[in-house]
Amino acid sequence: MTEEEAKITFWQTLLLIIIAYVSCVVVHLVKLILFRDRRDESLWPANRRKPVKTLIVMGSGGHTGEMVRLLSALDFRHFAPRLYLVARTDDMSAKRVQQLESSHVSTADSFQTVAISRSREVHQSWISTVLSFLISILDSLRILFSYQPDLILCNGPGTCVPPCVIALLLRALFIKRSTIVFVESICRVTTLSLTGKLMLFILADRSIVQWPELHAKYPQTVFLGRLV
């Protein structure tokens, strides 16, 4: 083979590999969105020994309050380290995280809080919302690419969408598999929030609701009773 022919073959091979990879990613993404496994009790191998690397999104206001209540019975030794995503302008949630973590004395050093841009402020205009959403996506990319959690916990509102979008993409790209669990607010008795619908139909592995009426309306959700 001449040097010319060898070069062409190298580029052809590279192209083939890239095409193969992209095809796998597309198929994987389609499978994740359209054929998500919703019935298995466990999504990971049994008899787990290693703790679960966890990312928790603090949505602000009432959502933070609900998340703190959700985490109140969690065994922090099994779910460590914990990275809390808090909106940049949300001091109250950062404080609540501190309070929650300091009430678990033995595991106090295995958590971190990281600020993320809000996807949207209240009353924000349409155009600037698109911009801030894109900034949140970039923020999420930076955070998730370096942290790579096993588990993502979120309960709305919009702040949790960019991190979950990125997590789904990283999973489709075969870079990191994160399990996304979304818990709809206790406020939602008969209707799912917009974030809830996004989670249920596209982004989350499990969507938990807290009223039987809502579970009956969306049978793919999980109902465990009132959690908060």
Return residues touching another protein (CB under 8 A). 41-48, 52, 61-62, 65-66, 69-75, 78-79, 92, 95, 150-151, 179, 181, 183, 185-191, 193, 206, 208, 211, 222, 224-228
The stretches of 35-90 forming alpha helices (DSSP H) are 62-71
Q: Which is nearer to another protein, 136 or 155 (CB)?
A: 155
Q: Which is nearer to another protein, 139 or 205 (CB)?
A: 205
* Minimum distance of another protein from residue 112's CB (angstroms): 20
* Minimum distance of another protein from residue 217's CB (angstroms): 13
* Minimum distance of another protein from residue 140's CB (angstroms): 22
What is the end-to-end Cα distance of the chain in Å, rounded?
70
Amino acid type, 16:
L
Residue 85: both structure tokens together:
């995503």
* Minimum distance of another protein from residue 129's CB (angstroms): 15
* Minimum distance of another protein from residue 99's CB (angstroms): 8
Local structure of 225: helix, strand or coil:
coil
Amino acid type, 215:
H
Of the candidates 9, 52, 26, the one whose C-alpha atom is nearest the C-alpha of residue 148 is 52
The full length of the chain comes to 228
Q: Which is nearer to another protein, 79 or 84 (CB)?
A: 79
Q: Which is nearer to another protein, 66 or 101 (CB)?
A: 66
* 223 dihedral zone (left: phi>0; alpha: psi -120 to 50; beta): beta
Instruction: Kindly write down the DSSP assignment for every residue of 47-88, as one continuous string.
Output: S--SPPPEEEEE-STHHHHHHHHHHTT--TTTS-SEEEEEET
CA-to-CA distance for 66 and 48, rounded, in angstroms? 28
Q: Which is nearer to another protein, 5 or 40 (CB)?
A: 40
Contact between 194 and 12 (Cβ < 8 Å)? no
Q: Which is nearer to another protein, 72 or 128 (CB)?
A: 72
* Minimum distance of another protein from residue 109's CB (angstroms): 21
Considering only the C-alpha atoms of the chain, give the largest distance between any 2 of them, rounded to a whole number of Å. 72
